[in-house]
Amino acid sequence: MPRFLTAALYKFVDLPDCAQLQPRLLAVCEANRIKGTLLLANEGINGTIAGAPEDIHTVLGWLRSDPRMADLQHKEAWASEPPFLRMKVRLKAEIVTMHVPGLDPSRLAGTYVKPQDWNALISAPDVVVIDARNDYEVAIGSFHGALDPHTRSFSELPAWVQQQTAPGKALASTQGRKPRVAMFCTGGIRCEKSTAYLRSQGFDQVYHLQGGILKYLETVPQSESLWEGECFVFDERVSVGHGLQEGALELCRSCRRPIGAAEKSSDKYEAGISCPHCFDGLTEARKKGFAERQRQVELARQRHQQHIGARMPDKRGDGPAPL
């Protein structure tokens, strides 16, 4: 059975020529039969691509031939079926959207903490631990004792931080000193930007988990882990647990939220159409449209074909990469 290598990558780096880079990068990916999505912005690159191993490494080598991206890191995963249907290289204002003009994570990001040192840091009584992900991700798993900002999108995080600096709140100064802060996210990209934001607001002791939750789950034995639940990922696995074993959750094809046995037993759940998270907010027209899409998916499955509606488009949070 053919195996497809998936490479998730990001780097905050000054790319003022990103518009000129876009068609060249797309051409290299297409010439090597690569599928996926890459985002380019003045602040860097972010995305996930998949294909034959040798073709993936050809594209990565091409990117690293640019001196600005010579140290580009990536994470690998394997799939028995193609995870993506087409190749897109998009120009964006930001590779992860926060809407804070002038923020430069390449200069201001917090201090990396290796997975094996993370437990000691977040167990310290003077450290405020913050989950930098969105509400639907936090709902299925997080580190013990971490604060949940209850954000629906990453761009809401700065406002939450400002609220939490008020007297009596989690990030309030004590005796004129701001607290130590530890932040984490799926793979690292949101933490680079969120810790940079905190540092821009005068927090000078800010840390983030190197490699994100995924590296922690891959590295730290379950017997020593402070992680509870599963970790949402931005691909067809939906969630992973310790050792990066695929979780038991599925995805609502309407709202893209993870769902388990409880949601699927609800009378508001209908495969491919709705779940308890989105049922009340869907118009009849949208439900009808999702029902038709699901009918086409089922027909394609019966014919042993792949239907474009069966795959997940780019989603919230980290963008196309599971970061």
Mean pLDDT of 150-170: 96
Q: Is 73 exposed, middle or buried (0-12, 13-18, 19+ CB in 10 A)?
A: exposed
Question: Looking at 29, 185, 191, 231, which residue is catalytic?
Answer: 185
Is 252 labeled as catalytic in the residue annotation? no
Quickly state the pLDDT bin for 208 (edges 50, 70, 90): very high
pLDDT at 317: 41
Confidence category of residue 247, pLDDT binned at 50, 70, 90: confident
Whether 314 shows a pLDDT value over 50: the answer reads no
pTM: predicted TM-score of the whole model, two decimal places = 0.83
Predicted local confidence at residue 304, as pLDDT: 65
Average pLDDT, the chain: 90
> Picking from 17-26, 85-94, 169-178, 257-266, which range would have the lowest pLDDT averaged per residue?
257-266
Amino acid identity at 85? L
Given a cut of 50, whether residue 126 has pLDDT beyond it is yes
Domain boundaries, the chain: 4-91, 105-229, 249-310
pLDDT for res 312: 41
Helix 115-123 × helix 212-219 angle, to 10°: 100
Report the CATH number of the 105-229 domain: 3.40.250.10
257: nearest Cα among 96, 95, 135: 135
User: Please, where are the H alpha helices in 133-209?
Assistant: 135-138, 157-164, 189-200
Res. 321 pLDDT band, cuts 50 70 90: very low
CATH of domain 4-91: 3.30.70.100
For position 249, what pLDDT does the model report?
87
> What Cα–Cα distance (Å) separates residue 309 from each residue in 107, 113, 254, 313?
41, 40, 11, 9
Q: Is pLDDT at 62 greater than 90 in this prediction?
A: yes
pLDDT tens-digit series, residues 264-299: 999 999 998 899 999 998 898 888 888 888 888 788
Looking at residue 85, its pLDDT comes to 85
Q: What is the pLDDT of residues 4-40, one digit of tens each?
A: 898 999 999 999 999 999 999 999 999 999 999 999 9
Tokens of 309: 């509606």
Report the helix count and the strand count for the chain, using DSSP H and E. 10, 15
